[in-house]
Amino acid sequence: MKLMVHALGAWFAVEAASGRYPRPVAVGLTMLVSRLGAPATVLAMAGYGLMRLREAGAFERRRVAPNSRKRSAG
């Protein structure tokens, strides 16, 4: 149950940090999450970091350029 509460708090913190909510709501959510302590803070920081990496394209597959020469089988 504690893990679920911390994960939910971290999710709210990540959404607030990304700008989804207006500033007064984001500040209130951040204050509530900060009361949850270190586990929620760590989850929030990790979630925000992963979200930023995903936005930057870190998890997209790189497209490989086709070879100009084909290997012969012999």
End-to-end CA distance of the chain: 63
What pLDDT, on the 0 to 100 scale, is given for residue 14?
Answer: 78
CA distance 64 to 21: 39
Asked if residue 74 has pLDDT above 60, the reply is: no
Over 70: is that where the pLDDT of 70 sits?
A: no
Q: Which long-range contacts (CB under 8 A, 24 or more apart) does 31-37 make?
A: 33/9, 36/5, 36/6, 36/9
Global model pTM greater than 0.75: no
The answer to whether the beta carbons of residues 32 and 15 sit under 8 Å apart is: no
Give the tens place of pLDDT for each residue, 20-34. 888 888 788 778 777
